[in-house]
A and B are shown apart, each in its own frame.
Chain A
Amino acid sequence: MDYSLERRVETIIMRVAGRVDESTWVAFGEGLSEAIAQARQHGVSSVTIDLAMLDYMSSRGLRALTVAKREADEADVTITLAAPNEVMREILAISRYDKLFTITDTVEMK
């Protein structure tokens, strides 16, 4: 799993590639915390997770998202999930995480 962060005026974009599973969820969680910290530092109220290059995310990754959401809520930062591929769409539906997070088709959509 690799990730990168990009700061835009309206949001911090976290691009994730590979798999988030039992061997990478800790690094994924650290990346999420880093994105939220950047949002706080620069007065940005949004973090957007770009899922387009993600092979899949197991329950570890999904629960890491939950931990991050709690951290983000305390900082008044909203987390949006963007551009899920077909596999991620299915996983988000099966887990019912599409009820917990706003999901957009592209990084640019709000």
Chain B
Amino acid sequence: MLVRFWGTRGSLPVAPTADTIRRKVAHALVSANGKRFDNVSDAEAFLDRELSFAAGATYGGSTPCVELEAGDGSYFICDMGSGLRPFGLESMKRNSEGHRKTYNFFQSHLHWDHIMGFPFFAPAFDPTAIIRIHAAHPDAEDALRRQQEEISFPVPFDWLRADIQFVQLTPGEPYEIDGVRVETKHQQHSHVSYGYRFTDADGRTVIYSTDSEHKPAKMEEEAAFIDFFREADLVICDTMYSLAESVSMKEDWGHSSNLVAVDLCHEAGAKCLALFHHEPTYEDEDIQRMHEESIRYEELTRREAPLEVICAYDGLEVRL
């Protein structure tokens, strides 16, 4: 199974400014210290070797969209954030090379940052494409139609020519969808959100659990999440705030923290945690610091097998 991240930012898409890019370039030039590079590849190798990820790259700024390459040839996509747009264009190239034009979407919830990419999803205009939108929310279609009403967007939902189907899921029930076993679970968030557990024919398991708050007064409910995450190969988790923020200023905002994600993964025996749904006000250095602190916290609290902690960024691919 391959997991490809197209959008990893929460709440609002963001983009680096000219000043941010200038600072990165200047820092790289100073780090190179007069070194000559024969070609771009050599220069890129230097970046990978000598600069931190925040200094030499970027975590990106598209809102949530995660693709799973799994199953028997259709597409599997979690959420329709602004990252859906580049995925849609890329998928059309794959379609021209013979990829099956069936898109299985799985919505965590219907907040704007998780649906804003759909009006720009090019395959939705292809009359030969099949788009199945799986959601535990009964009002998924309402949410998508509403954002394409004339007051908000110039292209109405009814102009989309693909075969668009809405499939309502029931939490706790397993589904076999195009070669992948899918389960969904209720999570604490405004208008409710749902986590997903995907298992392929080889038993590889990915958890997608974003926009899920774990409140101090409800810690006894976390046993259900530990069971849902059990022995997963990869857990993609909302780690938007520090633990202190999540229990004080940002309580009831519907998000979680890196420490809770590490603890849940430890208890579930998961192998790898991907930090996800990054705070839009964070610069790359802030996200990198959060990643480093999460790795350190995992080391300090580890008991048995280590948990690999990675930080999702737009463009990251993880092969399981």
Contact = CB atoms under 8 A, between A and B. Distances in A.
Q: Do A and B come from one complex?
A: yes
Interface of A: 21-22, 25, 56, 58-60, 62-64, 66-67, 87, 90-91, 94-97, 99-100
Nearest to B302: A56
A21 B297 CA distance: 13
Residue among A22, A60, A95 having the largest count of chain B Cβ atoms under 10 Å: A95
Contacts of B262: 59
Contacts of B267: 22
Given A63-B219, A91-B297, A22 B243 contact: no
A96 B245 contact: yes
Contacts, number: 60
Contacts of B247: 63, 66, 100
Leading 4 A-B pairs by shortest Cβ distance: A96-B244, A63-B216, A95-B243, A96-B242
Contacts of A56: 300-301
Interface string B182-212: 0000000000000000000000000000000
B260 interface: yes
B244 A100 contact: yes
Q: How large is the interface on B (under 10, 10 to 19, 20 to 34, 35 or more residues)?
A: 20 to 34
B216 A66 contact: yes
B39 interface: no
Given A63-B219, A91-B297, A97 B257 contact: no
A96 B243 contact: yes
Nearest to A93: B293
Contacts of B161: none
A95 B259 CA distance: 7
Interface in B58-102: none
Interface in B239-297: 242-245, 247-248, 257, 259-260, 262-263, 267, 293-294, 296-297
A59 B263 contact: yes
Given A91-B297, A94-B294, A95-B242, 7 more contacts: A25-B219, A56-B300, A58-B301, A60-B263, A63-B247, A95-B297, A100-B247
Interface string B291-319: 00110110011000000000000000000
B217 interface: yes
Contact of B297 (A22, A67, A94, A100): A94
A66 B243 CA distance: 10
B257 to A, nearest CB: 7
A64 B257 CA distance: 15
Residue among A21, A59, A62, A100 having the largest count of chain B Cβ atoms under 10 Å: A59
Given A90-B300, A91-B300, A99-B244, A59 B293 contact: no
A99 B246 CA distance: 13
11 contacts: A21-B301, A58-B263, A63-B243, A63-B247, A64-B216, A90-B300, A91-B297, A94-B297, A95-B244, A95-B259, A99-B244
Contacts of B245: 96
Contacts of B259: 58-59, 62, 94-95
A59 B261 CA distance: 9
A64 B218 CA distance: 10
